[in-house]
Amino acid sequence: MALTAPVGGARHADAPRAVGLVTSFFAAALEAVESWRHELAADLAAAGGAGRLTVAQTDGLVEPYARTCFSVPGLPVYGAGFVAARGLLLDANSHLAWWQGPQQSQLTLAAQAIDKEHIDYSGLEWYRVPMSTGAAHIAGPYVDYLCSDEYTVTAAVPVHLDGEFAGVAGLDLLVDGIERELVPLLEDEEGDFTIVNGLDRVVLSTDPSRATGDSLRSDPTLLTLRRFPCPDLSLAVLAD
């Protein structure tokens, strides 16, 4: 994966090279999921479509696509899969077809949620935004209590069947893994850089005074930093 230039959109004339590195990294995460969402939708439709698919059928269709995400060069994927919308499956009100961890094992929610078939994902950013906008989205950072219990960023894209929302395909990146990939590259650039989401919450920073999850909205130093939006992403790079 090349981490040299932003993908899509116009680049600020004075933007540091770090903006291109950050944009390329997260764009690659979205592209890794985007590459199979339409094929998955076709497979789900061929298998019966909304209201006739079973959990077992869905898992069998999703698994090979999810596993492709783990082999994207330079992308430290922790988990990947598909989250079905309510009403999509015949034998479950909701379902998370997800594989994660070093062994790429299928996620089971029994330990976290006794009534796992009735979990409502609609309020979670990684599900809510693609569902409401119909567009891909980078969500986080947030502590993922469903999957990893770690600070996580999720790349998510909506999946539609016959024009109707059917769920979200996505992948998880642990912030720890993102740091291992991006921080050495950012430290090679002059100055400190902080990646923030649309709420000015820190994803990661080369400035040791800013930690993942910190909100900078009430930080007076925010006004002293140059802001460079990452094209086509809900992220920005703040530069000293």
Give the strand order in the sheet containing 235-239. 202-205, 193-197, 235-239, 226-229
Amino acid sitting at position 134: G
Amino acid sitting at position 189: E
Residue 143, strand partner residues: 151
**Each residue of 7-16: pLDDT tens digit?**
333 344 467 8
Domain residue spans in the chain?
Answer: 24-176, 189-239
**Each residue of 65-78: pLDDT tens digit?**
999 999 999 999 99
For 24-176, the fitting CATH number among 3.30.450, 3.40.50, 1.10.260, 3.90.120 is 3.30.450
Residue 118: per-residue pLDDT: 62
Q: What is the pTM of this model?
A: 0.90
